Chains A and B, each alone.
Chain A
């Protein structure tokens, strides 16, 4: 009886993930029609190569990719994961290729195969618009310099930091790096010229003070030895769109006529606060909806884990106790972020299977919350005086009936406050999954900031939305709790 129920739960679990896999990757459908749909990774915030505008991903990289795909007649699905996540995605074969303003370097050539260069870039140094103290690298002595990890700007700054005596402050996305300089925490940042030129064109209060360093060219990358036909199509398409003039059109669409060492003059008039808020609201609300959905799906599975392992923990069987303790120790002991990274990048790399992002995120969240729910259920059951179980058993009731009819109804009342607490924690924890690229409220906020650089306003809105939702849910849960207590 008990075993068959466990089996049904596991089947339901597998089915859910099956459905997720099928419904959340449109590639499965497209694939059967004609040829392969490539999964292409990109950065979330590397304007002008990739960024969000009006809720859609645009940029030089993405326009080039679209033009080349059209020219070469292949299908692809874009995965804006962030630069580092995309790197790992390609390495673990979660992705077929990536285009993310990625410099072709000798180190990277050891792990990736690159297309022909599609853009010649070069690192420049930018400082605050009103800063007149820094004119060259020499002026950086003893100062902080913001860089984005994994970029050419980082590598360049790192190579000269000892010579010029400054320290590096690494960030994961460009917006944070710019903000660091604009607010004056760091004296300067190093970044590829087109990136900074575009940012300045968007009204960012920075200026470029150096000439382009000779940089490595950008290339489209695939995992070493994999997807060679995709690489060839990219090269062929690139040649065609350069010949047709489409290439130049795309690049000038984004960079206009800004040159290194000069301030842009054709910045668009800045948007008012109200306009920024109104533009951000629909995207943030959608993100909030996703946050709630992931929270409830994850909690649903966390409950299943919790019920299974919680009852194993209080069961008389030593083996069951041992297994359940192992489950709790493992998933309570691994930080959620690490668990998410491991499931999404580590497991596919080791086993050669693809795990859809949503499945990985929900799995990480539900395993983590499941460990805590297990403890809540164990604690709730153990808080019930053992005389209750003895009284029920002495009447001739089976362990199962005694648990279901006598112990659990009492234990639930004890557990309710902890469950509410876990709901709030899991809701907030969904934001951690933005690190592997899950688009929920926090990630939606990050994407908007990447585009409009209004971090104070947007993150303020994000914070308020979390606060409001959590307060509402807590109040609701409190009234439910009062009712169960009375009943």
Chain B
């Protein structure tokens, strides 16, 4: 039984069908990178996993919870799914530390001191111990994204979703964020990553999914998708980006 299981998923905005019959599965501890041209539906697919997008048809099952079922308490399921956004979405009115301790204190009823201890460990892990009392406005993009990762990890999730986590960064900051993600992957975290970083996908992913036009066109081990793509749309996409 997979950690994330998606069956016959369809998603439309009005008459515009963005996802057309998606079937996929992610196993525990697996790192899956989703690649494809913009508008291919990869971000939408990712956002269906924690129900930031309502599915139009089909099933999304996470941790044995059917989240496409409205009776499922989505807030409970989300506690176990960390998400990192392209634009960081840190809470600007809270300090870095408060950004990280906020959800555990609010939802896991941790004491401030307890949450603070965890948060400081997480900041150390992402290399930002000295920024605990800073406000997001004073951080660089790369620092913001590392705080965002720490914030997501503070809820101690089993699954991490990354929605183009380096796309809004200056090139020199991409490395520090990918470094943190690499560490996470090596610790056995289940990760689903929408990315344009082909080098990273090749190096870190257990499996690569190529999407185009709302379909999964091709998937497989990175050596296979990057090394010997079968589908011509995959070939032409990779030709453009590599």
Contacts and interface: CB of A to CB of B under 8 A. Distances in A.
A397 B87 contact: no
Contacts of A243: none
Nearest to A390: B52
A92 B91 CA distance: 56
B92 interface: yes
Contacts of A394: 50, 52, 78, 81-83, 152, 161
B17 to A, nearest CB: 22
Interface in A311-355: none
B89 A385 contact: yes
Interface stretch (B101-109, B117-125, B186-194, B232-240): B101-109
Nearest to B148: A391
A395 B148 CA distance: 11
B164 interface: no
Interface bracket on B: 20 to 34
A165 B5 CA distance: 91
Interface string A376-402: 000000000101101111111110010
Nearest to A401: B106
A395 B52 CA distance: 11
Contacts of B102: 395, 405
Contacts of B71: none
B107 A396 contact: yes
Contacts of A406: 91
A385 B85 CA distance: 13
Interface string B72-95: 000111110111010101111100
A311 B161 CA distance: 30
Contacts of B90: 391
Nearest to B99: A391
A410 interface: yes
B11 interface: no
A170 B85 CA distance: 67
A397 B85 contact: no
A390 B155 contact: no
Given A388-B91, A401-B106, A393 B85 contact: no
A385 B93 CA distance: 13
B76 A396 contact: yes
A398 to B, nearest CB: 6
A401 B107 CA distance: 10
Which of A392, A395, A406 has the largest count of B CB atoms less than 10 A from its CB?
A395
Which of B83, B89, B92, B102 has the largest count of A CB atoms less than 10 A from its CB?
B89
A391 B155 contact: no
B93 A396 contact: no
A393 B151 CA distance: 13
Contacts of A409: 93
Contact of A396 (B87, B103, B148): B103
Interface in A413-445: none
B52 A393 contact: yes
Given A396-B77, A396-B103, A405-B106, 14 more contacts: A387-B87, A390-B52, A390-B85, A390-B89, A391-B83, A391-B91, A394-B78, A394-B81, A395-B152, A396-B75, A396-B107, A397-B75, A397-B103, A397-B106
7 contacts: A388-B89, A391-B83, A392-B91, A394-B82, A395-B78, A401-B106, A410-B91
